[in-house]
Amino acid sequence: MRIKDASACQDSEFLLKPVAPALVAGAPFLPLAGGPYGFSRLLVTLLDGDAPVAMEQLSVRQLAEWRADLNPALLEKFDSRLTALTAPRPPMTIPGRAMPLGFGRPMVMGIVNITPDSFSDGGRFSDVNAALEHGQALIDAGADILDIGGESTRPGAKSVWEEEERQRIVPVIEGLAKSGAVLSVDTRKASVMEAALEAGAHIINDISA
């Protein structure tokens, strides 16, 4: 069934997925989140609740004609999703910083893992002073955000007790907060999130969400 032949119901919704980056200069494309990158093709899936009803892949050139065939209820839902996908994102206001964090360019995130078993740097910065020096080096190298973690989430890693995770990250966050950097905390635990925010973190990076 084609999407235009489907009837809208209360649970109807669209899932939009860009599938072709706009790499060819002058080719029709739509911006992704209003930024410098865009897409020239779109995978459109019509859902009834969580169940896919119909799916079509369209070029940006085809969209105007395709939209014209949708019934009004589906058209309204589609346009709402497309606007959410393409509209510019407002800057993120960071407490204590005069300049908000904009999304007009890619942001560089530096990783500070205070863990013995992370993929890339496990055990290298377990000491607070070593972690602080590493964080400052990342800032000096141009990192926009520092992501601080006290528990590895790699496959097979052992879970860390909440108090131990707090003890690992809070002194590092407190130290790096004085640098004026934007700080993110990588944790899955609510109590650790609260402690990190109180210590000066600005962003929660919860991979379990």
Tens-place pLDDT, residues 143-190: 999 999 998 876 666 778 899 999 999 999 999 998 888 999 999 999
| Residues pairing with 21 in the sheet | 39
In the prediction, which pLDDT does 175 show?
Answer: 95
Q: Find the radius of gyration of the CA atoms of the chain.
A: 22
* Under 8 Å between Cβ of 123 and 117: yes
Q: What angle do CA 80, 83, 87 make, to 5 degrees?
A: 150
Name the residue type at position 111.
I
Mean pLDDT by 10 residues, the chain (209 residues): 65 89 72 88 91 91 92 91 94 77 85 74 72 94 94 75 92 92 93 96 88
Q: Which domains does the chain have, with CATH numbers?
A: 3-86 (no CATH), 109-205 (3.20.20.20)
In the prediction, which pLDDT does 5 show?
Answer: 66
| b (16+ CB within 10 A) / e for 97-108 | eeeeeeeeeeee
Contacts of residue 184, Cβ cutoff 8 Å, sequence gap at least 6: 109, 145, 146, 147, 148, 201, 202, 203, 204, 205
| Closest-CA residue to 201 (of 170, 163, 168) | 170
d(CA 104, CA 173): 27
